[in-house]
A and B are shown apart, each in its own frame.
Chain A
Amino acid sequence: MENWSLVSICVLFGLTARWAVSLNSYSGAGKPPMFGDYEAQRHWQEVTYNLPVHEWYFNTTDNNLNYWGLDYPPLTAYHSLLCAHVAKLINPDWVELHASRGHESYGHKLFMRATVLVADLLIYIPAVVLYSFYLSEGSNKKKVCTVLCILLYPGLILIDYGHFQYNSISLGLALWGVVVLGLGWDVLGSLAFVLSLNYKQMELYHSLPFFCYLLGKCFKQGLAGRGLFLLVKIAVTVLVTFALCWLPFLSDPGQILQVVHRLFPVGRGLFEDKVANTWCSLNVLIKIKTILSTDTQLYISLTTTLLAILPSSIKLLMKPTLWQFKLALVNSSLAFFLFSFQVHEKSILLPALPVCLLLNDLPLPAIWFLQASTFSMLPLFLKDGLLVPYVVTSLAFLFFSIYLLSALEHCSEDKLRLGPYRRLLICMPRMDLGRVTKWKFYFSITAMAGLSFMSVALAPPAQLPDLFPLLVSVFSYLHFLGLLLYFNIVQIAEPPQSVRKNQKKSN
Chain B
Amino acid sequence: NYKLTINKWYIVLCCGVVLLTMTVFSGYFSHSTDFEVHRNWLAITHSLPVSKWYHENTSEWTLDYPPLFAWFEYSLSHVAQHFDKEMLVVQNLLYTSPATILFQRLSVIVTDIVFIYAVKECCRSVREEKGSKDLLGHPFFILAALLLWNFGLLIVDHIHFQYNGFLFGILLLSVARHLQGRHLEGALLFTVLLNLKHIYLYIAPAYGIFLLRSYCFTEDNTDGSVRWSSFSPVRLVALGSIVISVGALSFGPFIAMGQLPQVLSRLFPFKRGLCHAYWAPNVWALYNMVDKALSVLGVRLKLLDVAKLPKASMTGGLVQEFQHSILPSVSPSITLICTLLSIMVMLSIWCRPRGARGFLRCLVVCALGSFMFGWHVHEKAILMAILPFSILAVESREDAGIFLMLTTTGHYSLFPLLFTAAELPIKVLLMLLFTLYSFTSLKKLFRGSLLNPLETTYLLGLVAVEILCEVVYPLSPWQHTMPFVPLLVTSVYCSLGVCYSFIRLYVSLLRQHGTDKHKQL
Chain A contact residues, CB within 8 Å of chain B: 1-2, 5-6, 8-9, 12-13, 15-17, 19-24, 106-107, 110, 114, 117, 141, 388-389, 392-393, 395-396, 399-400, 403-404
Most chain B beta-carbon contacts within 10 A, residue among A8, A22, A23, A389:
A23
Query: With A12-B433, A20-B426, A21-B27 known to touch, is A392 a contact of B19 (CB < 8 Å)?
Result: yes
A388 B15 Cβ-Cβ under 8 A? no
A255 CB to nearest B CB, Å: 40
Using CB atoms and an 8 Å cutoff, list the residues of chain B in contact with chain A.
Answer: 8, 11-12, 15-16, 19-20, 22-24, 26-28, 134, 136-137, 421-422, 425-426, 429-430, 432-433, 436-437, 440-441, 444
Besides A2-B444, A5-B437, A23-B27, 4 new A-B residue pairs in contact (Cβ under 8 A), listed by A number: A5-B440, A9-B437, A20-B26, A141-B136
For the complex, give the distance between the alpha carbons of A245 and B425 in Å: 33
Inter-chain residue pair count (beta carbon < 8 A): 85
Instruction: Please report the C-alpha to C-alpha distance between residue A92 and residue B24 in the assembled complex, in whole angstroms.
Output: 31
Inter-chain contacts of A117 with B (CB < 8 A) = 425
A24 touches B440 (CB 8 A): no
Q: Do the beta carbons of A8 and B436 come within 8 Å of each other?
A: yes
Interface residue from A5, A19, A106, A396 paired with B19 (Cβ < 8 Å): A396
| CB <8 Å contact, A19 and B426 | yes
| Residues in chain B near residue A17, CB distance under 8 A | 20, 23
Contacts of B426 in A (CB 8 A): 16, 19-20
Q: Are B23 and A403 in contact (CB under 8 A)?
A: no
A22 touches B20 (CB 8 A): no
Asked if B20 and A110 make an inter-chain contact with CB atoms under 8 angstroms apart, the answer reads no
Chain A hits for B433, CB < 8 A: 9, 12-13, 16
Task: Report the bound CA distance from A424 to B466 in whole Å.
Answer: 64
* Complex interface: chain B residues within 8 A of A8 (CB): 436
Question: Contact: A396 with B437, CB < 8 Å?
Answer: no
Asked if B27 contacts A389 (CB within 8 A), the reply is yes
A12-B429, A110-B422 known; A399-B8 Cβ under 8 A: no
Interfacial chain A residues near B137, Cβ < 8 Å: 1
Q: Are A399 and B15 touching (Cβ within 8 A)? A: yes
- The answer to whether A21 touches B23, judged by C-beta atoms less than 8 angstroms apart, is yes
Separation of A322 and B429 alpha carbons in the complex (Å) = 35
- Give Cα distance in the complex from A106 to B29, angstroms: 13
Q: In the complex, what residue of chain B is closest to A107 when comparing beta carbons?
A: B421
Contacts of B430 in A (CB 8 A): 16
Q: With A13-B433, A110-B421 known to touch, is A20 a contact of B24 (CB < 8 Å)?
A: yes
- Known contacts A2-B440, A13-B433; decide if A20 and B23 are in contact (CB<8 Å): yes
| Contact B19–A389 (Cβ < 8 Å) | no
In the assembled complex, 16 residue pairs joining A and B whose CB atoms fall closer than 8 Å, in A order, are A1-B440, A2-B444, A5-B440, A8-B436, A13-B20, A16-B20, A16-B429, A20-B28, A24-B26, A24-B27, A106-B422, A389-B27, A392-B23, A399-B19, A400-B12, A400-B16
Q: Could you say which residues of chain B place their CB within 8 Å of the CB of A12?
A: 429, 432-433, 436
Contact of B23 among A15, A107, A389 (CB under 8 A): A389
| Inter-chain contact B23/A404, CB cutoff 8 Å | no
**When the two chains form their complex, are residues A19 and B425 in contact, meaning their CB atoms are under 8 A apart?**
yes
In the bound complex, residues from chain B placing their C-beta under 8 Å from that of A114 are 425
Measured in the bound complex, the distance between the Cα atoms of B436 and A13 in whole Å is 12
Q: How far is the CA of A388 from the CA of B22 in the complex (A)?
A: 8
Among B26, B429, B432, B440, which residue has its beta carbon within 8 angstroms of that of A388? B26
A399–B23 Cα distance when bound, in Å, is: 15
Q: Cβ of A20 and Cβ of B27 under 8 Å apart?
A: yes
Interchain CA distance A13-B437 in the complex, whole Å:
11
Shortest Cβ gap from A201 to chain B (Å): 31
Closest 9 CB pairs of A and B: A23-B27, A388-B26, A5-B440, A24-B27, A20-B23, A396-B19, A12-B433, A16-B429, A20-B24
In the complex, the chain B residue whose C-beta lies closest to that of A148 is B16
**Given A1-B137, A9-B436, A21-B27, A392 and B429 contact (CB-CB distance below 8 Å):** no
In the bound complex, what is the Cα–Cα distance between A9 and B440 (angstroms)? 10
Task: Flag if B20 contacts A20 (CB, 8 Å).
Answer: yes
Question: In the complex, are the beta carbons of B23 and A1 less than 8 A apart?
Answer: no
Complex Cα distance, B20 from A12, in Å, reads 12
Complex interface: chain A residues within 8 A of B28 (CB): 20, 23
Contact A396 B429 (CB under 8 A): no
Give bound CA distance, A395 to B21, whole Å. 13
Give the chain A neighbours of B26 by CB distance below 8 A: 20-21, 23-24, 388-389, 392
Measured between C-beta atoms, what is the minimum distance from A304 to chain B in Å?
A: 40
Task: Note all chain B residues with C-beta closer than 8 A to A21.
Answer: 23, 26-27
Chain B residues with CB below 8 A from A20, complex form? 20, 23-24, 26-28, 426
- Set of chain B residues within 8 Å of A404, measured between Cβ atoms: 12
A residues in contact with B11, CB < 8 Å: 403
Task: Output the nearest chain A residue to B437 by Cβ-Cβ distance.
Answer: A9
Q: How far is the CA of A9 from the CA of B24 in the complex (A)?
A: 18
In whole angstroms, how far apart are the Cα atoms of A24 and B28 in the complex? 7
Residue of B nearest to A17 (CB): B23
* Minimal beta-carbon separation of A404 from chain B (angstroms): 7
Q: List, in ascending order, chain B residues with CB within 8 A of A23's CB.
A: 24, 26-28, 422
In the complex, what residues of A have CB within 8 A of residue B27's CB?
Answer: 20-24, 389
Q: Which residues on A sit within 8 Å (CB–CB) of B429?
A: 12, 15-16, 19
CA distance A107 to B474 in the complex (A): 15
CB distance from A225 to the nearest CB of B (A): 50
Contacts of B12 in A (CB 8 A): 400, 403-404
Q: Tell me the minimal C-beta distance from A374 to chain B in angstroms.
A: 14
Determine how close the nearest CB of chain A comes to the CB of B197; give it in whole angstroms.
Answer: 29
Query: Taking CB as reference atom, which chain B residue is nearest A4?
Result: B440
**A212 → chain B closest CB, angstroms:** 40
B485 vs chain A, min Cβ distance (A): 23
- A352–B159 Cα distance when bound, in Å, is 33
Report chain B residues within 8 Å CB of A16: 20, 24, 426, 429-430, 433
**Minimum C-beta distance from A116 to chain B (A):** 12
User: How far, in angstroms, from A399 to B24 measured CA to CA in the complex?
Assistant: 18
Q: State how many angstroms separate the Cβ of B327 from the closest Cβ of chain A.
A: 42
**Docked CA distance A395–B421 (Å):** 28
Contacts of A19 in B (CB 8 A): 425-426, 429
CA distance A1 to B28 in the complex (A): 33
Residue of A nearest to B9 (CB): A403
